[in-house]
Amino acid sequence: MHTVSGGEVAGILVAVFWAILVSFLAVALARLAQTLRATTKLVADVTDQAVPLLSDASSAVRSAQTQIDRVDAIASDVQEVTSNASALSTTVASTFGGPLVKVAAFGYGVRRALGGRKEDVPAGPAKEPRRTVIVGRTIPAARRTKRKKD
């Protein structure tokens, strides 16, 4: 029989451990390769879906810009119409305002003059004096009448 020396046993043990280590590294590399393949496929799928989405987003931004330009044009037109309406209002007020105030004052004077004559003529049964409301309070008729200086 052949006797095995200590060096040979140590060599066999190193060879076995080396084989086990290489096996574990091979399995780890195989799994890493699988993971890299799956990651590559995922990136390719994301790229395939992202390109149309970016194209749609770009067209949406262009459409929004067009709409903003339209709204800006409408706003400037509204501002122009508002300034024209303000100028027209000022013109109408200055043209008709003075004469209308004079006509209203004349009408008020005529009513007042005719109203004073009606009080001189007795007209049927005496009416109860009217009450006047001032800032939420009622003042009796006696306090409202004008006092004549003697």
Tens digit of each residue's pLDDT, the chain (150 residues): 778 788 899 999 999 999 999 999 999 999 999 999 999 999 999 988 888 898 899 999 999 999 999 999 999 999 999 999 998 888 888 887 777 788 888 889 888 888 865 554 555 555 666 655 556 555 555 555 555 554
User: How many residues are present in the chain?
Assistant: 150
pTM comes to 0.38
Count the helices and strands in the chain (H runs, E runs).
2, 2
Give the residue carrying structure tokens 């800006």: 72
Cβ proximity of 32 and 26 under 8 Å: no
Cβ proximity of 132 and 144 under 8 Å: yes
- Which residues lie closer than 8 Å to 129 by C-beta, 6 or more apart? 141, 142
Report the C-alpha gap between 97 and 108 in whole angstroms.
16
Report the C-alpha gap between 42 and 49 in whole angstroms.
11
